[in-house]
Amino acid sequence: MSQAVTTPQEIAPAHRPSSFLTLALGSVGVVYGDIGTSPLYALKESLTAATGGNALTQPMVLGVMSLMLWTLTVIVTLKYVLLIMRADNHGEGGTLTLMALLQSVMHRRFAVISLLGMAGAALFYGDAIITPAISVLSAVEGLKLVEPAFDPYILPLSMAILIGLFVVQSWGTAAVATWFGPVMLVWFGVMALGGVMNLAGDLRVLQAINPLYGVDFLLHHGHAGLLALGAVFLTVTGAEALYADMGHFGRRPIQTAWFFVVFPSLALCYLGQGAMLLGHPEKLENPFFFLFPDWALLPMVVLATAATIIASQAVISGAYSLTQQAIQLGLLPRMEIRRTSETEKGQIYLPRANWLLLIAVLYLVFAFKSSSALASAYGIAVTGTMVITSVMAFFVMRKCWKWPTAAAVLVIAPFLAVDLIFLMANMLKIFEGGWIPLLIGGCLMAVMITWRRGSKIVSRKTIRDEVVLDDFIKSISHSSSISKVRGVAVFLTGNPNSTPTSLMHNLKHNKVLHEKNVILRVVTEDVPRVPEHERSSVETVNDRFSRMTLRFGYMESPNVPKAMAACTTRDFAFDIMNTSFFLSRRMIRAATRSEMPRWQSLLFANMAKWADDASLYFRIPTGRAVEVGMQIDV
């Protein structure tokens, strides 16, 4: 199977902007929000770790600056922008997309691929929780430089901004998203300007372009050097968004924005901070805001706050998309998914995910109270995700691109080595807060594995008790005790060859059969979206029964009535007012003796209890749905 590489025009139908420059501008606002706010805290935390409480020296500044510049070059430019973004699944990117892509080309679904995909997704949630907290805190902390009396209000103000950000999610972000690009373009321009103004004062910092300064720093600073290296990784937090958001903007607009706007602005800003610290090491308290004159501090705090809100919004939207993908791929129970835009496919809102994220973010802000404290918790989740992406990229090279093993190893090994070095450096911060994203990721991994395993057990037990559909049809064809009623009955099932439990129960208790009966199966494919002409297929069994399959991509929210109405197959006419949908509602109980450990059985039973109804998930009108209950022990 050849690897699909999609152009911006191909992935930008009527619901997306068609202009290349508009796409590039949009990516500046959404894709680069997180990495674009890193200058607020990255250099400060890196040099603070390097000094270890001692005086700041020129070798420290040049060494850390060198590490930061080359980290941006190797990880973002070479790995993500030029290599990983080529591994797309019909224009979509991200960890779960890689998992689906690999599963679609492998004859066997290797367990290691599923585990890697789940681990990457779980770690992303850790990043999605920490990013809003550290970004908003770091921006609001600039108020202390404007007026020290603001210090007691930084925490409550940060929490109020975050609460407001999550509350407005239900209204949709389509209206404000149009401002994301222009605001972030101003942000990057102002950062570059501040960097240039200070860079001109001390050009010695340009020596940091030589990577030997970074190597020398690591060789001569021991444990402090490793701690600083872990903090240096803060410069590339958000790099994974380049890949995850590829489906929204296209590969080339994202690459163009990086090379012509984002990378130059970040480099100039960091070099400017370094030049300033060479002459004024006392400004390490907050080197970003000290780039600007006193009269510009308040406007910069306002602009920084706006930029961090945009960065947080991008991560939150990414968490929604990832949750939707996980639900479609069978990794999480069904949740309510609301569309907040009639035209933008990516504009969705998940109430349950939103409030859980808000609670977690507020807890972090309240528990850590400053961006410096939170910086210790940051990095592990991102480095872990990057290691997983590198490993899965190797499989893509081998299975999708058909590269020789030696060539794939030669290309991916240097990137994997760099990722592992950063991961080990960040592991030093586990006891200072790094345990938080690991705990979040571990819990979510347990949830995903439990849901997937429990769902397979339920499916197996359900199929075991069902009757072969063809045998069932033969057995009732000559029965005189069954009454026929007008209309169409649609029975949802996971196995179209077996008689749905809801059909058996309806016949058993009501003794009736509809004129037309459709055995419906809804399938989630390993592609982001299924073309409309491939959405449905119908097989006529006899004059009263037919089988239908509806196919959706893992980036789509399944709308069963709409898909059935769009079916143009001959002899099939759909009228919602003349149709009843029959669904099996399974009551899951934790069995005393189970294939899963007791804790997993209890967890699965509780997740099943809180999962949304199938009728709501498939957009079936309440008045047309009939649910038949059944009890299953797992």
Q: Is the pLDDT of residue 6 over 60?
A: no
| 148 vs 18, higher pLDDT | 148
Question: 424 and 481: one domain?
Answer: no
Q: Which of 43-52, 452-461, 502-511 comes out lowest in average pLDDT?
A: 502-511
Average pLDDT over residues 568-595: 79
Distance CA 103, CA 86 (A): 17
The pLDDT value given to residue 509: 78
Whether residue 571 is found in the same domain as residue 492: yes
CA gap 268, 556 in Å, rounded: 40
Q: How confident is the model at residue 101 (pLDDT cuts 50, 70, 90)?
A: confident
Residue 161 domain flag:
no
Q: Would 438 be classed as within a structural domain?
A: no
Domain boundary (433, 467, 482) is at: 433
Strands 483-492 and 579-589: parallel
For residue 403, the model assigns a pLDDT of: 92
User: CATH code at 22?
Assistant: 1.20.1740
64 and 135 assigned to the same domain: yes
Write down the mean pLDDT value for the chain.
85
Highest mean pLDDT among 355-364, 433-442, 594-603: 355-364
- Same domain? For 474 and 534 the reply is yes
> Given the structure tokens 């590269």, which residue do they identify?
403
Q: How would residue 61 be classed by pLDDT, with cut points 50, 70 and 90?
A: very high
pLDDT value of position 212: 95
**CA–CA gap between residue 196 and residue 440 (Å, rounded):** 40
The verdict on residue 534 lying in a domain is yes
Domain hosting residue 192, numbered range = 8-156+173-325+345-433
pLDDT in tens, 341-380: 654 555 678 899 999 999 999 999 998 888 888 887 777 8
Alpha-carbon distances of 361 from 314, 436, 448, rounded to whole Å:
15, 12, 21
- Which of 394, 417, 433 lies at the terminal end of a domain, its last residue? 433
Residue 487 lies in a domain: yes
Span 448-462, mean pLDDT? 87
Same-domain check for residues 414 and 547: no
Is the residue at 333 inside a domain? no
In a shared domain, residues 372 and 511: no
Q: Are residues 361 and 487 in the same domain?
A: no
Distances, alpha carbon 193 to alpha carbons 4, 79, 265, 271, in Å: 40, 28, 8, 11
**Quick one: 466 and 350 in the same domain?**
no
**Of the candidates 314, 387, 376, the residue with the CA atom closest to the CA atom of residue 119:** 387
Give the C-alpha separation, 208 to 59, whole Å.
10
- Record the tokens describing residue 366, joined without a space: 């309240």
Do 296 and 349 fall within a single domain? Answer: yes
User: What is the Rg, in whole angstroms, of the alpha carbon atoms belonging to the chain?
Assistant: 27
Q: Which residue has the tokens 């299975």?
A: 399
- What does the pLDDT average to over 392-396? 90
Structure tokens at 275: 């030049």
pLDDT tens for residues 129-142? 888 998 899 889 88
Domain assignment present for residue 163? The answer is no
Spell out the SS3 assignment of 255-288. Answer: HHHHHHHHHHHHHHHHHHHHHHHHHCHHHHHCCC
- In the chain, what percentage of residues exceed pLDDT 90? 32
Provide the percentage of residues in the chain whose pLDDT is more than 70: 93
Q: Which residues contact 464 (CB under 8 A, 6 or more apart)?
A: none
Q: For helices 435-465 and 598-610, what crossing angle results, to 10°?
A: 80
Sheet holding 579-589, edge to edge: 536-540, 545-553, 512-525, 483-492, 579-589, 625-633
The two tokens of residue 74 are 């190797």
Q: Which of 13-17, 260-264, 296-300 has the lowest mean pLDDT?
A: 13-17
pLDDT for residue 168 is more than 80 = yes
Is residue 15's pLDDT more than 50? no
Same domain for 143 and 24: yes
Beta carbons of 271 and 199 less than 8 angstroms apart: yes
| DSSP calls for 515-534 | EEEEEEEEEEESSS---GGG
Indicate if the pLDDT at residue 7 is higher than 60.
Answer: no
Q: What is the mean pLDDT of residues 20-40?
A: 87
In a domain, 289, yes or no: yes
**Is the CB of residue 280 less than 8 Å from the CB of residue 217?**
no
Is the pLDDT assigned to residue 586 strictly greater than 80?
Answer: no
Confidence class of residue 172 from pLDDT cuts 50, 70 and 90? low
Query: Is residue 447 situated within a structural domain?
Result: no
Task: Give every CB contact of residue 255 below 8 A, 6+ residues apart in sequence.
Answer: 81, 82, 85
pLDDT at 16 over 60: no
Q: Which two tokens stand for residue 287?
A: 């080197």
Which one of 399, 433, 467 terminates a domain?
433
The β-bridge partners of 580 are 489
**Residues 429 and 480 both lie in one domain:** no
- Is the confidence at residue 121, as pLDDT, over 90? no
Give how many domains the chain has, as a whole number: 2
Q: Confidence class of residue 570 from pLDDT cuts 50, 70 and 90?
A: low
**CA gap 592, 41 in Å, rounded:** 52
Q: Report which residue type is found at 264.
A: P
Which residue would you say has higher pLDDT here, 631 or 275?
Answer: 275
The model's pTM is 0.81
Give the model's pLDDT for residue 109: 59
Q: What mean pLDDT do residues 613-632 have?
A: 83
Between 481 and 65, the more confident residue is: 65
Question: Is the pLDDT confidence value at 591 over 90?
Answer: no
Q: How far apart are CA 520 and CA 560, in angstroms?
A: 10
265 vs 94: which has the higher pLDDT: 265
**Same domain for 493 and 420?**
no
pLDDT tens, residue by residue, 259-270: 999 999 999 999
On whether the CB atoms of residues 558 and 522 are closer than 8 A, the answer is yes
In this structure, is the dihedral angle defined by the CA atoms of residues 548, 553, 558 and 562, taken in order, positive or negative?
negative
